[in-house]
Amino acid sequence: MTQDLLLEMLRASFCNENTSMLFRYPQNESLLELAYQHEVGLLIGDKMQLDRSQRLANHILKQKNLKRYHENFVHFDPVAVELEKSNVEYVITKGVYASKTAYIDEGYRRSDDLDVIIKREDYSKVREILHTHGYVQGIYNPTTKTVKKFSRQQELFYLSYTQQSAPFLKETGSDLVPVVNLDLNFHIFWYESDAWDISKLLSHSQILNYKGFKVKTFQDEYMLLHMCIHAYFDMNSVYILYKSYAYRLKYFADIYGFIKRSKVSWDRFRSVCIDYKVEKYIMYILYYTALVFQDDSFLTITGLEMPSEDFLNRFGLENEGSFIWKESFFERLFNMDRDSLLDKYFNEEIKLKISQGRSFEGM
């Protein structure tokens, strides 16, 4: 079965004898298509005996990923300098550091945007700095190769109903990566909580030195925390689940690779999760990561309590309502018609809110 073979190959990608698994499997078009749908296609392609045309396509995609990382840093570097001069606290999260740690070669993972976390009160100052350096808030049309600026109403929608700003885009002049996308985030959680002190959170940074660029990123324990929180949000928010990037194997590959190859202190990680009161969300993601990779060794290492079976089968964030999946985890993971899958759970009121949200976001 294609899904089972994909899981077998993905697990092999992170085993100790990784290099011996290269080119072991014959080329399989349907499996490769499924792997790309789950955003692990380049990783899986390295396990296949690809023909010349597919090898070339994979090489171009990998170079494009690397080019995107580089362009993001080329254009963010002068912004970072000004943020430092203005005493604006920030960190870059996920992205190239998470990718390079999880996969060793960051070209395996596509990252469309640069995620920057700042304090909400610094937004106006950072927005002005970004505008000065050629960034605009809008959406890119690859057909016309133009950026359509967001309306003020769309900008306010993001600020009022999400924990981030409307995306900032900048044209690069490169045919391979015509625009870079930067997201300003004000939180790593989906609602404000007394447990979170964003200024304190931002202080847990380290310097990322990437190809000559030096910027701030999270320390490993906080990076893993954010990766898990982000994955939980994308796999549980009724508004995000309709989007193409939700519920993909990439989340579990990112997290599993990061766990195996980072320098996370589990005692510290446990303490951080307890301090921020996110144990059940973290263990939800780690539970399913263990299921995907058939490796539960890290579940006990965390020292955190496993949530109830009811919680593991639930979706919907606290302010959205609670729903119980009728489908098994792998059924919903590999379901390619998620609209139909989700529609049967929601009433017309929820569907209308989702439609309105899509409209305001410019999707």
What is the residue-wise DSSP string for 103-117?
HSSGGGS---EEEEE
Comparing C-alpha atoms, which of 305, 335, 304 is closest to residue 235? 335
**Residue 184: what are its φ and ψ, rounded to 5°?**
-95, 120
For the four alpha carbons of 311, 313, 315 and 321, in that order, the dihedral sign comes to negative
Amino acid at 31: L
Q: Give the Cα separation of 107 and 61 in Å (integer).
A: 8
The C-alpha angle with vertex 181 and arms to 227 and 173, in degrees rounded to 5, equals 145
How far is it, in rounded angstroms, from Cα 122 to Cα 136? 17
Q: 147 and 139 in contact (C-beta within 8 Å)?
A: yes
Per-residue pLDDT of the chain (363 residues; tens, 9 = 90+): 899 999 999 998 887 555 555 667 899 999 999 999 999 999 999 889 999 999 999 999 999 999 999 999 999 999 999 999 999 999 999 999 999 999 999 999 998 899 999 999 999 999 999 999 999 999 999 999 899 999 998 898 888 888 899 999 999 999 899 999 999 999 999 876 777 889 999 999 999 999 999 999 999 999 999 999 999 999 999 989 988 889 999 999 999 999 999 999 999 999 999 999 999 999 999 999 999 999 999 999 999 999 999 999 999 998 888 999 999 999 999 998 988 999 999 888 888 877 776 665 554
Locate 165 and state its tokens: 């700003």
φ and ψ at 183, to 5 degrees? -110, 130
Name the residue type at position 80. A
Structure tokens at 242: 């309709």
| pLDDT, tens digit, 9 for 90 and up, residues 247-303 | 999 999 999 999 999 999 999 999 999 999 999 999 999 999 999 999 999 999 999
Structure token pair of residue 358: 């899509």
CA 139 to mean position of chain CA atoms: 19
Distances in whole angstroms, Cα of residue 250 to Cα of each of 17, 34, 62, 101, 325 = 21, 12, 16, 14, 21
Cα–Cα distances in Å, from 123 out to 74, 184, 196, 247? 22, 8, 18, 30
Q: Coil, strand or helix: which one is 157? A: helix
Q: Encoding tokens for residue 353? A: 């809110």
Phi and psi angles of residue 15, each rounded to the nearest 5 degrees, phi first: -80, 165
Question: Residue written as tokens 């639930």?
Answer: 314
Report helix, strand or coil for 251. helix
Q: Identify the burial level of 132 via C-beta atoms within 10 angstroms of its C-beta, where 0-12 means exposed, 13-18 middle and 19 or more buried.
A: exposed
